[in-house]
Amino acid sequence: MRIKAIKVFCLILFCFFAFISYLLRPTLFGFDSYAHLNLIKYGFDGPLLNAPVANLVFGLFPDSLLFVKFFMLLSAILCIVAIFSIVAKFYGERLAWISTFILIGFSPVVLFAFGEFENELLAYPCILWSIYFLLNSKWLYSLICACYGLLFWKWIYYLTWMQQFGSRVIETNLFSGVLNLWFLLPFVVGIVFLKKKNKWLAVLGLFSVGLWLWNGKFVVFLLPFLALSIANAWDLLKRCENVRKYLLILAFFGIIGWNVTYFISSPNDSDWLVVSTAINASKDRNIALNPDLGWEYWITYKTGKTDFKFQQLYKETDFNTPTIWVTSNDSNCELILNKDEGVRLKRIYYCK
């Protein structure tokens, strides 16, 4: 089913406002975004060597935060257009609009999945359009898109079983998808009913659920089938107009709420205060910094490629030599800064 150009434009305009916080944030979101931003800005590579093709592409990006933000928005738009097109094929454009709207509004996963500047943003559109072509029996196009997507993905990193059990990162732990997508679990259950429309939808949808349970990063495989499930549920609720109305209202406020949440998420002013304090403490005492996992990306972004050195990155903290320790843990070392923000503790210690 082909979508007219004016409707594609309207969909792009809707995506622009649905993901507007990408552009409104003064900084990027999360730790890993800055690992890749440092790659562009300083050539900082270290832990990014497991995605060499993506790194090569990012190496061609201009050193512009605005460009990076528009790239993130473009990736999100391409993905949403693919999801919309898949739903429109089986349920028509009207339900495609509704299901896409509810999908974005009911779960923060959609906004946050495309809102972190990583190599996955190069892979996600390829994967979703591969699914679109697969469902349209265009096997060659589907294979080409899938191959391109895998080139950009950390294929060795994420397709290794040992990584799932050994990783310290929640997104690559077994069954972490349950934690990431509990907002949409009712629609996950609804995937089994897609067989009434097309039996392969249910088969592929359940397969994508398995991928998602294995690794939270595979959520992108699940999104089109969630949207189809939502369209199917909407069709079943045709006698419950009030329920439909409340779902749309909740989705509207959900889109606003997730954008606000994304806008105020880390790194925020409090995080940058910790970064600057740690850098100054390290320079004043002329000793190395020892940040916990993730903080070194923010610190590198602020310090650049200078003689500034980290101590024991990705290893156990070594207190045999003086160090400035950025952490959320308790310590007997001299406390320089303590910011208690509820569930998130940010502390700087001087360990002699």
- The answer, yes or no, to whether the previous bond of 267 is cis (omega within 30 of 0) is yes
Helix, strand, or coil here: 22?
helix
pLDDT tens sequence across 200-251 = 677 777 767 766 666 667 778 888 888 888 888 887 788 788 888 998 999 9
Give bridge partners of residue 310 from the DSSP assignment.
Answer: 289
What does pTM read for this prediction? 0.83
Highest mean pLDDT among 28-32, 93-97, 294-298: 93-97
Residue, of 143 and 202, whose pLDDT is higher: 143
Contact status, residue 350 vs residue 313, Cβ threshold 8 Å: no
pLDDT score of 129 more than 60: yes
Query: What is the pLDDT, as a whole number, of residue 49?
Result: 53
pLDDT score of 182 more than 70: no
Q: CA-CA distances (angstroms) from residue 150 to 50, 56, 215?
A: 12, 14, 15
* Dihedral in degrees, nearest 10, Cα atoms 310, 312, 313, 314: -170
pLDDT tens sequence across 8-23 = 888 999 999 999 999 9
Highest mean pLDDT among 171-185, 219-233, 317-331: 219-233
Query: What is the pLDDT, as a whole number, of residue 152?
Result: 82
Residue, of 302 and 182, whose pLDDT is higher: 302
pLDDT score of 284 more than 70: yes
Query: What is the pLDDT, as a whole number, of residue 146?
Result: 87
pLDDT tens sequence across 41-58 = 887 555 555 667 787 888
List of residues 6+ apart from 267 with CB closer than 8 A: 27, 28, 34, 275, 298
Lowest mean pLDDT among 65-69, 105-109, 340-344: 340-344
Q: Which helix (H) or strand (E) holds 339?
A: strand 334-341
Query: What is the pLDDT, as a whole number, of residue 168?
Result: 41
Confidence of residue 295 (pLDDT cuts 50, 70, 90): confident
The residue among 136, 247, 240 whose CA lies nearest residue 187 is 247
pLDDT score of 304 more than 90: no
State the Cα angle at 80 between 77 and 86, rounded to 5°: 140
